[in-house]
Chain A
């Protein structure tokens, strides 16, 4: 056991003998290259996905709930789009309320 401890201590000391310094000017050389930054290229889809993720992340919803909300919103979006061109009946208020988990306001017609 003592031998193992001695070996460990010796190894720690040996490792400590190696010093790596950052040579003068190296960091400055790298910083100098940062004055010509390329544009942050993000596709429209990535921007939309990022905004959506940040929105849902801010609401602190679990992943399954995020997926369900995304699926519901997509389905409703398609439904509304189709109803706008007269292909289907517009979604009812009940359906919209159910989709967004909104309780009906007392006294308000559904």
Chain B
């Protein structure tokens, strides 16, 4: 199997099959990231489609200075931040499910409330803090990788995470008291 970088070199030379193979590899994680960030399925699909078109158009200029995955995520995150400035409300269909539904109806209700409150609190974070939390906590990137995606230093990512966690702790304090 070709590496991402080998595929990208072929994409840069205009190979459509190579581009479709590359897209097929990454479309699901790109979509998950965009859905987490934007909380709106339709917007997330638009962003990923736009990101892939940009990647296709810019492929001839791509140079293998960093991991391709980092670059792909950077395109998605930048588009999400742009889109986020033109706020679009989350649809009811996009309210996330709790990760591990409890069998007891009372416990399940509490889990849904917690998941909903956490989602709201995440949505109210400044865009770059939300991006840092999404990349490191949910997508499993290291601070250094998240820094490369956000075009900043690992120290700045750490600072974004500290501020984000402080805000989340404050906003979700009422749930902890239950």
* Chains A and B come from one and the same complex: yes
Give the docked Cα–Cα distance between A20 and B119 (Å): 10
A50 touches B61 (CB 8 A): yes
Contacts of B49 in A (CB 8 A): 30, 33
Contacts of A8 in B (CB 8 A): 165
Contacts of B20 in A (CB 8 A): 31, 34-35
Question: 8 Å CB contacts to A: which residues of B28-78?
Answer: 28, 31-32, 35-36, 41, 44-45, 48-49, 52-53, 56-57, 59-61, 63
B115 touches A17 (CB 8 A): yes
Q: Which of A7, A19, A20, A40 contacts B57 (CB 8 A)?
A: A40
A16 touches B99 (CB 8 A): yes
Output the least CB separation between A55 and chain B (Å): 12
Output the least CB separation between B126 and chain A (Å): 17
Question: 8 Å CB contacts to A: which residues of B1-45?
Answer: 14, 16, 19-20, 23-24, 27-28, 31-32, 35-36, 41, 44-45
Give the docked Cα–Cα distance between A21 and B32 (Å): 7
Contacts of A15 in B (CB 8 A): 118, 133, 137-138, 168
Give the docked Cα–Cα distance between A66 and B115 (Å): 54
Q: Which of B45, B165, B175 contacts A26 (CB 8 A)?
A: B45
Asked if A30 meets B98 with Cβ closer than 8 Å, knowing A11-B168, A40-B14, A54-B63, the reply is no
Asked if A17 meets B31 with Cβ closer than 8 Å, knowing A31-B23, A53-B63, the reply is no
The answer, yes or no, to whether B96 is at the interface (CB within 8 Å) is: yes
Q: Which of A26, A31, A41 contacts B41 (CB 8 A)?
A: A26
Asked if A18 meets B31 with Cβ closer than 8 Å, knowing A30-B48, A38-B57, A40-B59, the reply is no
- With both beta carbons as reference points, the residue of chain B lying nearest to A29 in the complex is identified as B45
Contacts of B151 in A (CB 8 A): none
- With both beta carbons as reference points, the residue of chain A lying nearest to B114 in the complex is identified as A17
- With both beta carbons as reference points, the residue of chain A lying nearest to B53 in the complex is identified as A38
The answer, yes or no, to whether B86 is at the interface (CB within 8 Å) is: no
A17 touches B111 (CB 8 A): yes
B36 touches A22 (CB 8 A): no
B61 touches A46 (CB 8 A): yes
A18 touches B41 (CB 8 A): no
Give the docked Cα–Cα distance between A34 and B49 (Å): 8
24 intermolecular pairs with C-beta atoms under 8 Å apart: A11-B165, A11-B172, A15-B118, A15-B133, A15-B168, A17-B100, A17-B111, A17-B114, A17-B118, A18-B96, A18-B99, A18-B118, A20-B35, A21-B32, A27-B28, A27-B31, A30-B23, A30-B45, A31-B24, A34-B20, A34-B23, A37-B19, A41-B57, A54-B63
